[in-house]
Structure 1
Amino acid sequence: MNSRKIILKTAEEIEFMRESNRLVGMTLGELSKHVKPGVTTLQLDRIAEEFIRDHGAIPTFLGYGGFPNSICTSVNENVVHGIPNNTPLKEGDVISVDCGTLKHGYAGDSAYTFCVGEVDEKVKNLLKVTKESLYKGIEQAKVDHHIGDIGYAVQSYCESHGYTVVRELVGHGIGREMHEAPEVPNYGKRGTGPLIKEGMCIAIEPMINLGSKNVVFENDGWTVRTKDRKPSAHFEHTIAIRNGKADILSTFEFIQETSN
């Protein structure tokens, strides 16, 4: 991916992307009403696909590289790319839902880690810090900064709370394709990596572990889990660089409306 050219977006393209990303936020909000003990991730997947199609878009993940479903559902020690299945969620689980849409030819991408009923305080704190780190990274996404500044902000914040940063999976550029250049790691050194420019669109997605940073790629070809089987958290926003700083195109507002 590093050799690919970074495609800067026009103001018009960014507005198309905002629409796709808003729909992702609406879909996550819809799913948040259903995340509870006894529900299966396959049920969530069907709700998401129907919701996305009803709003005139297509689920980007479905068939992407052979992925069999419309959302990624990663429970507890699963970090990302979990395949929806018939196992019911249970009290105390956490579940990362990663969702993508394609509308008017432009992609949206966002993820949120939900609590299923009452969750252990240690795990709740992991989710809180991971979500906060996403915004720490977004603050560094401004013109004349570097991609490494984003990773440094996420890494230093999470590690200061005793958590670890997954190395094998990173954020990415986004536009007409769900994955474009540049790669956006959640670790790094300030002043390194590609220069951030006006019109750059990227997905920033901290993937943070309670225990060791080491992960295992499961035999299903998709699921990535923590090696020590301790919980992981994942939050993601798509942003555009406009007027020199980050304009967040995706939204968690629909999730917050449900949880209030």
Structure 2
Amino acid sequence: MNMKYIKNSKDIKYMRNVCKLASEVLDYISNFIKIGVTTNELDLLCYNYIINVQKAIPGPLNYFPPGYKFPFPKSICTSINDVVCHGIPDNKFLKNGDILNIDITVKKNNYFGDSSRMFVVGETTLNAKFLIKIAYECMWAGISKVKDNVYLNDIGNAIQMHAEKYNFSIVKEFCGHGIGKKFHEFPQILNYNNFKSSEKIYSGMIFTIEPMINEGSRFIYETSNGWTIKTKDKSLSAQWEHTILVTDFGFEVLTISNNYFFL
């Protein structure tokens, strides 16, 4: 185990603060999600809130990791219906029945906080609501396994078992990740059981848990913009994300919000 991924008390203090900011952005933007709004409008609202109110930086804006042809051009990710992740805000209007994931990453004092939530535009189908519910439960099934000295696979296995219990599929190409002074770092938090892995997690680690659950097949493809990922069979996809601190006796959810309850 590389000890550089264990956060010290200063790191944890700053991470608590920036993760709280990420959850506050999601609280704020939830008031603007309605029929007829564009995701560009939501992006601009979040940008202004992060820059002007929080005095922070939108983590995704101009993010340019290895393997990508272009930097990410917007401040938030907005993934609608069959978009699995990395949806780029644009001028299309949200319509009644859309399901929407908004993924927020805030950077402040050189630390990153990351969280995402699902939203429903207007009134959607019972099937879509059920997918969103199970994806939420999958995230918490994974979080519930977090504790010092447990196997990473315990997280992924719990997520996979819960999704497959309801005949939903797990996207395997994307996963949770360590986070701190880097947007993405060790460890990778898979959303399925990788039987080959014997890695463990330890107190002081901070990472995201963010299962991506498809209504149909798990297979995906990358669109022409080089970022956005969609389901191959055009089925709906849902994702939730929290940033988690591993403690001696369990976990602390750093991106929890006192103003938000999912029922």
TM range (shorter): over 0.9
Residue 56 of structure 1 is matched in structure 2 by 55
1:16 partner SS: helix
Query: Which of 198, 201, 204 does residue 199 from structure 1 map onto?
Result: 204
Residue 29 of structure 2 is matched in structure 1 by 31
1:127 partner SS: helix
Indicate yes or no: 2:158 matched with 1:158: no
Residue 67 of structure 2 is matched in structure 1 by none
1:64 partner SS: coil
Following the alignment from structure 1 to structure 2, what is the Cα–Cα distance between the partners of residues 191 and 135?
24
In structure 2, do the counterparts of structure 1 residues 67 and 189 end up closer, same or farther at CA, with 3 Å as the change threshold?
closer
In structure 2, do the counterparts of structure 1 residues 175 and 233 end up closer, same or farther at CA, with 3 Å as the change threshold?
same
Residue 84 of structure 2 is matched in structure 1 by 79
Moved over 3 A (4+): 3-6, 189-193, 252-256
Q: CA deviation at 1:144?
A: 1.4
Residue 41 of structure 1 is matched in structure 2 by 39
Following the alignment from structure 1 to structure 2, what is the Cα–Cα distance between the partners of residues 139 and 177?
25
Between the aligned residues of both structures, percent identity stands at 38
What CA deviation, in whole Å up to 9, does each residue of 1:201-223 have, x standing for no partner?
11000100000000011110000
Following the alignment from structure 1 to structure 2, what is the Cα–Cα distance between the partners of residues 193 and 57?
37
Residue type at the aligned position of 1:246: F
| TM-score using structure 2 length | 0.93
- Contact (CA 8 Å) 1:6, 1:180: kept in 2 or not? no
What CA deviation, in whole Å up to 9, does each residue of 1:171-195 have, x standing for no partner?
1000001100111110015794421
Q: CA deviation at 1:24?
A: 0.7
2:150 partner SS: coil
In structure 2, do the counterparts of structure 1 residues 83 and 5 end up closer, same or farther at CA, with 3 Å as the change threshold?
farther
Following the alignment from structure 2 to structure 1, what is the Cα–Cα distance between the partners of residues 3 and 148?
18
Following the alignment from structure 1 to structure 2, what is the Cα–Cα distance between the partners of residues 69 and 24?
16
Indicate yes or no: 2:13 matched with 1:8: no
Following the alignment from structure 1 to structure 2, what is the Cα–Cα distance between the partners of residues 170 and 206?
7
- Contact (CA 8 Å) 2:132, 2:238: kept in 1 or not? yes
Residue 238 of structure 2 is matched in structure 1 by 233
2:10 partner SS: helix
Residue 175 of structure 1 is matched in structure 2 by 180
- Contact (CA 8 Å) 1:239, 1:249: kept in 2 or not? yes
Written as runs of structure 1 = structure 2, the 5 A alignment for 1:81-160 is: 81-160=86-165
Query: Which of 211, 219, 231 does residue 214 from structure 1 map onto?
Result: 219
- Contact (CA 8 Å) 2:149, 2:203: kept in 1 or not? no
Q: CA deviation at 1:231?
A: 0.5
Residue type at the aligned position of 1:18: R
Following the alignment from structure 2 to structure 1, what is the Cα–Cα distance between the partners of residues 130 and 169?
13
In structure 2, do the counterparts of structure 1 residues 193 and 220 end up closer, same or farther at CA, with 3 Å as the change threshold?
farther
1:33 partner SS: helix
- Contact (CA 8 Å) 1:6, 1:181: kept in 2 or not? no
2:191 partner SS: coil
1:22 partner SS: helix
Following the alignment from structure 2 to structure 1, what is the Cα–Cα distance between the partners of residues 48 and 9?
30
Q: CA deviation at 1:85?
A: 0.2
Number of residue pairs aligned between Structure 1 and Structure 2: 256
Residue 19 of structure 1 is matched in structure 2 by 17
- Stretches of structure 2 lacking an aligned partner (at least 5 in a row): 65-70
Structure with greater contact order relative to length (CA < 8 Å, sep ≥ 6): 1
Indicate yes or no: 2:66 matched with 1:67: no
User: Please, what is the CA RMSD of the aligned residues?
Assistant: 1.8
Residue type at the aligned position of 2:27: G
Q: Which moved more, 1:12-21 or 1:93-102?
A: 12-21
- Stretches of structure 1 lacking an aligned partner (at least 5 in a row): none
Q: CA deviation at 1:147?
A: 1.0
Following the alignment from structure 1 to structure 2, what is the Cα–Cα distance between the partners of residues 253 and 84?
27
- Contact (CA 8 Å) 2:20, 2:257: kept in 1 or not? no
